[in-house]
Chain A
Amino acid sequence: MRVRGRDLETIISYILTIGVLVSLAVEGVGLGYYYATTESLQVDFTSRWQTRGNDFFAYAWGTLLSLGEGATPLSLIALGIVLLMVTPYVRVLASVVYFTVERNPKYALISLFVLAVLTISLKAH
């Protein structure tokens, strides 16, 4: 299975490695920033740390917009979680494209089903 000289396994491996490393790095910077600017490091379960809304894509977009207004520890940590959750999502998206380009309708449909269920669940909770 090859598309433009790359196989699906290599593409997926890149997506997973980059996604996890970047999200961990962003979380690390966010936590470091929090540590540097806050006196109390209690995990206090206050509502500002709670994820809100009912649409992940809107939440992700809102996080990017709030970062545009200036990075805070909270917005960086939220961005890290968003990037982490986007990683497997992009992996399925890549599989749909790959199997479509490879003209493998069975697996294009199977990956499309996974993508559809995830999209509905991320949009509608």
Chain B
Amino acid sequence: MVDVITVLLLSILAGLLGSLVGLGGSLVTTPALVALGVPVKYAIAAGMVTIIATSSGSASSYVREKIVNVKAAMFLEMFTIVGAIVGASVTSIVPAKFLYFFFAAFLLTSFVGIGRRGRGEVPQAVNQDGLARWLQLEGSYHDKSLGKDVNYKLTRPALGGAGMFVAGIAAGMLGIGAGAFKVSVHELILKMPSKVSTTTSSFIIGMTALAGASVYIFSGLLYLDLAAPMMIGTTLGAFLGGRSLNRIRSSTLHRLFLVVVLLVMVEMLYKGVTA
């Protein structure tokens, strides 16, 4: 079994690696702990608590800079928290074997982020539907790289809500943020500009994680001696990763991303088969 220092160091490394390749929260920490022999459900429960810290911490500055669309976030949270509660309740009762396979399968959604990376343009001429207008789903933010204020409108909130419900189920079940999936819903359905979608996604993840954690905290799966070092380590690692991001070439990051996702997938599949 592991000790506190190992969990701390491993979480720092996993948080660092995760934030470098754009896989936030516990998507790397949880499989890393499982590799050390931590039962998968305990790692998932601790991961759910951990991402309250990593996502809330990273979202706070984007909220202040008004890049996050708080209204859209509040609307979408109605769906994603209900999904997270359902997902976390499912994990409490299903066999662990099933979770390994689902984790490996869900990693595929993180590949969606690769095609998206570096685009950054704003969708033009979005025709808002009636509900989007009623919900006043629009906004503006100052884009530093473009050097100007960007105005945008969102559409199809009902379909977006359904997508966020599914994202919530996956997040709650696996103790992760499901960020790549959420960002896809924001951009493909709601037509969010990519800077707004990534930052609004981390903002929402904090709430999804609380909803999931509300189930885990009394399901008998949350152990404080695992959650505490995991939370400190992952947050510290993510912070260090964020600071060194600009110093590493993006082609190196791209390769690193592929290696990390493949390793984690193979590990989870292996665990699923041998469990």
Contacts and interface: CB of A to CB of B under 8 A. Distances in A.
Interface residues of A, number: 55
B200 to A, nearest CB: 12
A119 B184 CA distance: 29
Given A56-B214, A92-B207, A121-B85, A27 B228 contact: yes
Contacts of B4: 31, 34-35, 41-43
B232 A20 contact: no
Interface majority SS on B: helix, strand, loop or mixed?
Answer: helix
Contacts of A101: none
Contacts of A40: 3
Given A53-B218, A111-B74, A117-B81, A45 B226 contact: yes
Given A77-B224, A80-B228, A114 B207 contact: yes
Given A31-B4, A43-B3, A16 B56 contact: yes
B7 A125 contact: no
Interface stretch (B60-68, B94-102, B117-125, B189-197): B60-68
Given A17-B60, A45-B42, A51-B218, A85 B223 contact: no
Contacts of B78: 110, 113-114, 117
A83 to B, nearest CB: 10
A103 interface: no
4 cross-chain pairs, A with B, having the tightest CB-CB distances, nearest first: A13-B64, A16-B60, A121-B214, A49-B225
Interface of A: 8-10, 12-13, 16-17, 19-20, 23-24, 27-28, 30-31, 34-35, 40-45, 49-54, 56, 59, 74, 77-78, 80-81, 84-85, 87-89, 91-92, 95, 106-107, 110-111, 113-114, 117-118, 121-122, 125
